[in-house]
A and B are shown apart, each in its own frame.
Chain A
Amino acid sequence: EVQLVESGGGLVQPGGSLRLSCAASGFIFRTYWMSWVRQAPGKGLEWVANMKPDGSEIYYVDSVKGRFTISRDNAKNSLYLQMNSLRAEDTALYYCTRDSQGPNEYTLNYWGQGTLVTVSS
């Protein structure tokens, strides 16, 4: 059974940093693309970033470029999101997803339960 468990969320002041983790199990982690997706209070879903299995390709949504860094440790079956220079608008529930990718196709197949990040003074 695919399991994705996010952790690391919490309350942080504007300008601060936080590192999210996603522990994966039930599948061969090193063979899958992975993403982070967030939902701000009262807003819709927003994809944040993704990463190829070997880490050779990374993509970000414009609003987090230069501030967030996605990474993975295939030996530890873990995905990370380092978030710096946090803003109030980064407040959201952050989800880790296991993805599938092919020609003209990208799918977020499995989702974790999410970890809440609150940016406030």
Chain B
Amino acid sequence: SVLTQPPSASGTPGQRVTISCSGSSSNIGNNYVCWYQYLPGMAPKLLIYNNNQRPSGVPDRFSGSKSGTSASLAISGLQSEDEADYYCAAWDDSLNGFYVFGTGTKVTVL
């Protein structure tokens, strides 16, 4: 993957956790970023789109941001049900164009 995330992150209930996503000018630098939540046994779910927008139904303790060729997802007030895999993603303009996911971050609630 051309989008790099830390493999893991953790926190205790109520804490704030931040996940980074590093890309390049052909993807994050030129296009909006999305974040997806992948809970065990469930289909992935859109969490953040257009860098920082939440779909209806996503709690406001999830927030996204982007600066240059990097993006980040913050989870404030961590809850046990937030234990999941999180992926950033963006369209990449190189080659003929393709959609690329980050390497994924496993969030553990201690």
The chain A residues found within 8 Å of chain B, CB to CB, are 35, 37, 39, 44-47, 50, 59-62, 95, 100, 104-114
Chain A residue contacts of B103, Cβ below 8 A: 44
CA of A47 to CA of B45 in the docked complex: distance in angstroms?
14
Known pairs A108-B36, A108-B46, A112-B43; A44 contacts B31 (CB<8 A): no
Known pairs A95-B44, A111-B43; A45 contacts B96 (CB<8 A): no
CA of A106 to CA of B90 in the docked complex: distance in angstroms?
7
Chain A residue contacts of B36, Cβ below 8 A: 45, 108
Q: Are A107 and B38 in contact (CB under 8 A)?
A: no
Known pairs A35-B99, A59-B97; A104 contacts B43 (CB<8 A): no
Interface hub of A60, A61, A108, A109 (most chain B Cβ within 10 A) = A108
- Pick the residue among B46, B49, B90, B95 that contacts A62 (CB under 8 A): B95
CA of A110 to CA of B49 in the docked complex: distance in angstroms?
12
Instruction: Render B45-64 as a binary contact track against A, CB cut-off 8 A, 1 for contact.
Output: 11001100001000000000
Chain A residue contacts of B49, Cβ below 8 A: 100, 105, 107, 109
CA of A113 to CA of B44 in the docked complex: distance in angstroms?
9
Q: Are A105 and B50 in contact (CB under 8 A)?
A: yes
Q: Are A105 and B32 in contact (CB under 8 A)?
A: yes
CA of A99 to CA of B99 in the docked complex: distance in angstroms?
11
Q: Does B104 contact A (CB under 8 A)?
A: yes
- Pick the residue among A35, A62, A111 that contacts B45 (CB under 8 A): A111
Instruction: Render B63-87 as a binary contact track against A, CB cut-off 8 A, 1 for contact.
Output: 0000000000000000000000101
